[in-house]
Amino acid sequence: MFTRLKKIFSSQDSKQGSKPPPGMWQVTADASRCVQCGICGYNCPVGIEVREYARRGENVTDTRCISCGACVAKCPRGTLKWGPAILVRADDTLEIAPNDLPLQLHLQPRKLP
């Protein structure tokens, strides 16, 4: 547990991580590039199994994601990239976030499905 916490803080300012540009971004995946090697999940400081998203070509929508970019930086095949976030509207429909969305929105709590 403690090492895991330390890993979070170290990855915050680590040079390895790939920082997203300002705005609302999520890790996106290109399924056709993925070979399921699992390096992404292995390097994830909070233990998200990123490759399950990559297999389906979905955004990493896990709420535990701290946007550290470790998976983006470590992916050997360019599968993972920063892309516009997918937002869940109140009525459970999906919406792609515009790039210039203010950052505060990201911090507002929302009910999870």
Partner 1 sequence: MTIYHYLIIGNGAAGLSAAEIIRRRDPAGRITIITSEPYHHYSRPGIAYYVLDQVPERQLISRGHAFYRDHRFDLMFATVSQIDPEARLVYLEAGQPMAYDALLVATGASALMPPFPGRDLEGVLTFDTLDDAKRVARAGRKAKTAVVVGGGITAMELAEGLHHQGANTHLLQRGDRIWPRLFDENESTIVAQKIRQEGINIQYHEELDEILGKRGKVAAVRLKSGRTIKCQAVGVAVGVRPNLDLVRDLPIRQDRGILVDQFMQSSQRALFAAGDVAQVYDRWTGEHNLDILWPSAINEGRAAGNSMVDFVRGRQPSYRYQKDSPFNCALLFGLHLTVIGRVGSSSAAEVEQLAYLSRGSSQVWTSPFTSDYRSAWDNKGFNSLRVVLAGGRLVGAVLMGNQELADPLRKLIEDEVDLSGYEPTLFSNDTQLPQVLLRAWRDWHQRW
97 near partner 1 (CB under 8 A):
no
7 near partner 1 (CB under 8 A):
no
Following CA atoms 33, 54, 78, 3 in sequence, which dihedral angle do they give, to the nearest 10 degrees? -140
- Those residues with Cβ within 8 angstroms of residue 68's Cβ, 6 or more apart along the chain or in another chain: 8, 11, 12, 14, 17, 45
- The residue among 32 and 93 lying less far from partner 1, judged by its C-beta, is 32
C-alpha span between 86 and 97 (Å, rounded): 6
Map the footprint of partner 1 across residues 47-66, applying CB under 8 A.
51
42: enclosing H helix or E strand: helix 39-43
Q: Is 3 helix (H, G, I), strand (E, B) or coil?
A: helix
Smallest gap from Cβ 90 to partner 1, in A, equals: 31
Window of 17-25, 72-80, 85-93, 105-113 that interacts with partner 1 by CB under 8 A: 72-80
How many residues bind to partner 1 according to rule CB under 8 A?
A: 15
30 near partner 1 (CB under 8 A):
yes
Q: Is 84 helix (H, G, I), strand (E, B) or coil?
A: strand
Chain residues in the site for partner 1 (CB under 8 A): 30, 32-33, 35-39, 41-42, 51, 74, 76-78
